[in-house]
Amino acid sequence: MTDDKTFVIAIDGPAASGKGTLARKLAAHFDYALLDTGALYRAVGLNVARHGGDPEKEADAVAAARALGDMDLSDPAIRGESTGALASKVAAIPAVRDILLAFQRDFAESPPGGKTGAILDGRDIGTVVCPDADVKIYIIADVETRAKRRFLEQYGPNGTEAQYEAILADLVQRDARDMNRSTAPLKPAKNAHLLDTTNSDIEAVFEAALGLISKEQANV
């Protein structure tokens, strides 16, 4: 348990592995607060682009990160794959990560709405943001499977081969950037439970996660 008795679940993994889908189902099931930390980096990346800045330039990215409080995290443009690429560029800048860290930790320690638990999904939740999380899950799936899922999500059944290839290339590039950056690279925490969703549907992944979490809750 964390000091203030919030039950914290950390979900990390590469792009489009199913983190958000699982996190939302678990949050509804347990009535826990949910923070999609990728949305924070996406909002910062989008903000830099909209102001004509360079997402790889520290001054531009830091200025955007400081203005996060004024951003609309429900803006649909945040979800686009091109925004994912912008996000992973600003996310490689340590000063940006520092600015977002306090917000994420506060959320986990004192979830809004007086909730008794918090679920955070991202890349470094189990390793950096909440190293003492009660349950850590690291979700993976083959990159082609992840690209197909994101492709379907973004273009529906009538997407083109070229659109699929662009998504696949973006995920490969983004994973490499996220795994190879020097600060808070994407990797499983030592005590994370690994879930490979390549051949599991959403419900099976949810059931597997519930099994892991129930065991930990029984120990609290």
Ligand X SMILES: Nc1ccn([C@@H]2O[C@H](COP(=O)(O)OP(=O)(O)O)[C@@H](O)[C@H]2O)c(=O)n1
Closer residue to ligand X (CB): 82 or 110:
82
Distance CA 54, CA 46 (A): 11
| H-state helical runs in 67-160 | 81-90, 94-109, 143-155
53-82 residues near ligand ADP, rule: CB under 6 A = none
User: Which of residues 10, 18, 124, 178 is near ligand ADP by CB under 6 A?
Assistant: 18
Determine if 205 is a binding residue for ligand ADP (CB under 6 A).
Answer: yes
For the bound state, the minimum distance from the C-beta of residue 19 to ligand ADP, rounded and expressed in Å, comes to: 3
Distance CA 82, CA 187 (A): 23
Closer residue to ligand X (CB): 183 or 200:
183
Helix (H) or strand (E) holding 11: strand 7-12
Determine if 202 is a binding residue for ligand ADP (CB under 6 A).
Answer: yes
Determine if 197 is a binding residue for ligand X (CB under 6 A).
Answer: no
Among ligand X, ligand ADP, none, the one that 55 touches (CB under a kind-dependent 5 to 8 A) is none
172-201 residues near ligand ADP, rule: CB under 6 A = 197, 200-201
Determine if 8 is a binding residue for ligand X (CB under 6 A).
Answer: no
Distance CA 10, CA 131 (A): 9
Distance CA 49, CA 174 (A): 17
Binding residues: 13-21
157-196 residues near ligand X, rule: CB under 6 A = 174, 178
Distance CA 19, CA 27 (A): 12
Could you tell me if 148 and 63 are in contact, meaning their C-beta atoms sit under 8 angstroms apart?
no
Distance CA 35, CA 20 (A): 9
- Contacting range for ligand ADP; rule: CB under 6 A; set: 67-75, 146-154, 156-164, 172-180: 146-154
Determine if 159 is a binding residue for ligand ADP (CB under 6 A).
Answer: no
Question: Sign (positive/negative) of CA torsion 40, 12, 183, 165?
Answer: negative
The SS3 of residue 7 is strand
**Binding residues for ligand ADP (CB under 6 A):** 13, 15-21, 149-150, 153, 197, 200-202, 205
**Binding residues for ligand X (CB under 6 A):** 15-16, 20, 37-38, 41-42, 84, 87-88, 91, 122-125, 174, 178
